[in-house]
C-alpha cells in the first residue's frame, strides 16, 4: 500500500533527504508543518520512499528510487487516490511532478507512461539585491487612488471580495499561520485587492514568492511589480531570503522575476497531465 502520513509524522521522511534536498525550501516547509502539503510513503513507520504533494501546486519524490514495492503501486495510486485527494483538497484536476535529477526523471516517466503528458522545466532563481536596487528606480509609480499595504489581519478582513483569504488557504493551514510565519504586500484601490505578493512557502528565513494580479483589466500596469518591490524591501530589512521559481514556459513570470533582480540558478524537469 501507499500510506498518507499524518502531519505530526511528516518529519519521519527527513532521513530520506539526500545532498541538496536537505536544504530544499519546499520540502522543509512541508516537513515542518508550515505549509499545506501531503506526504505519501511506502511504510508509515519506516519509509523508504516518499511522494510529497504540495497541495494544488506540485509533487516531489525523495528516498529510494529502486523501491519496486512503492513504484509498482504508484500509477494506480496517482490515477485514483491522488486524483481524489487533489480534487477534494483544492479542486485541482492536474498532476504536476518535478524531478530532482535524471534518475527521478526516469522513475516518474515510467510511473506515468500510460498517460499522455507534457514536459517543461521549473526554473529556480536567486535574488540579487544590488540589481534590484538598480532596477527599481525605473518602476512606474502608483496611479492616484491606489495604495500599497502590508497584508495584515485588517487588510484580510477588509478585503470585500475575500480574495486574500482564498489565496492564503491554498498555501497555509490557517490565516493565523500566515500572519505568524509569512509576509505579504498588496496593491489596493479602496477595499479592492488589485495585486498581491506573498510568502507561499516558508522555512525559517527562506520565503518562496507567489504573486498575482486578479483581474485582466489590471494586468500589465506595473501593479505586481510594485507589490513585489514592497515585499522585497521588507525581506532586505528583515534578513529574509526571497526565492522565485516558475515554469520555463511562464514567460511573464520569468520577465517579472528578472525585472525584480532575480537571476537564474538551476532548473528541473517537470511532468504534467490532467487527471
- What's this model's pTM, rounded to 2 decimal places? 0.94
Last residue of a domain, one of 115, 139, 165: 115
The per-residue pLDDT for range 32-83, each reduced to its tens digit, is 999 999 999 999 999 999 999 998 889 999 999 999 999 999 999 999 999 9
* Residues linked to residue 62 through DSSP beta bridges, in sequence order: 50
Question: 200 near 121, Cβ under 8 Å?
Answer: no
How many CB atoms neighbour CB 45 within 10 A? 8
Here the CATH number for the domain that contains residue 260 is 3.40.630.30
Asked whether residue 209 carries a pLDDT value surpassing 90, the answer given is: yes
Task: Kindly list the distances between the CA atom of residue 47 and the CA atoms of 5, 64, 69, 110, 220, in Å, as whole numbers in the listed order.
Answer: 10, 9, 11, 21, 47
| Residues 246 and 133 placed together within one structural domain of the fold | yes
Here the CATH number for the domain that contains residue 97 is 3.40.630
What is the structure's pLDDT at 205? 97
Q: Which has more confidence, 248 or 91? A: 248
The number of CA neighbours under 13 Å toward the Cβ of 61 is: 28
Label residue 20 by pLDDT band (50, 70, 90).
confident
The per-residue pLDDT for range 166-190, each reduced to its tens digit, is 999 999 999 999 999 999 999 999 9
| Residues 71 and 176 placed together within one structural domain of the fold | no
Residue written as cell 497555509? 172
Amino acid at each position: 500500500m501507499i500510506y498518507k502520513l499524518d502531519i505530526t509524522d511528516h518529519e519521519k521522511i527527513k532521513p530520506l533527504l539526500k545532498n541538496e534536498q536537505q536544504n530544499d525550501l519546499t520540502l522543509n516547509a512541508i516537513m515542518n508543518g508550515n505549509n499545506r502539503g501531503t506526504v505519501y510513503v511506502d511504510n508509515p513507520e519506516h519509509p523508504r520512499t516518499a511522494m510529497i504533494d504540495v497541495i494544488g501546486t506540485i509533487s516531489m519524490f525523495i528516498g529510494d528510487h529502486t523501491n519496486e514495492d512503492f513504484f509498482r503501486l504508484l500509477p494506480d495510486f496517482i490515477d485514483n487516490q491522488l486524483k481524489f485527494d487533489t480534487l477534494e483538497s483544492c479542486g485541482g484536476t492536474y498532476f504536476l511532478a518535478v524531478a530532482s535529477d535524471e534518475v527521478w526523471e526516469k522513475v516518474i516517466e515510467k510511473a506515468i507512461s500510460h498517460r499522455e503528458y507534457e514536459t517543461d522545466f521549473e526554473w529556480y532563481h536567486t535574488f540579487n539585491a544590488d540589481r534590484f536596487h538598480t532596477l527599481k528606480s525605473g518602476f512606474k509609480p502608483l496611479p492616484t487612488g491606489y495604495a500599497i499595504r502590508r497584508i495584515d489581519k485588517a487588510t484580510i478582513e477588509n478585503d470585500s471580495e475575500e480574495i486574500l483569504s482564498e489565496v492564503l488557504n491554498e498555501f497555509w493551514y490557517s490565516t493565523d499561520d500566515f500572519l505568524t510565519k509569512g509576509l505579504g504586500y498588496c496593491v489596493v484601490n479602496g477595499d479592492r485587492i488589485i495585486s498581491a505578493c506573498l510568502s507561499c512557502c516558508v522555512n525559517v528565513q527562506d520565503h518562496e514568492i507567489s504573486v498575482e494580479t486578479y483581474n485582466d483589466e489590471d494586468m500589465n500596469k506595473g501593479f505586481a511589480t510594485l507589490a513585489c518591490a514592497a515585499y522585497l524591501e521588507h525581506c532586505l530589512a528583515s534578513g529574509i531570503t526571497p526565492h522565485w521559481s516558475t515554469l520555463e514556459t511562464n514567460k511573464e513570470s520569468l520577465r517579472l522575476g528578472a525585472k525584480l533582480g532575480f537571476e537564474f540558478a538551476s532548473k528541473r524537469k517537470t511532468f504534467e497531465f490532467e487527471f
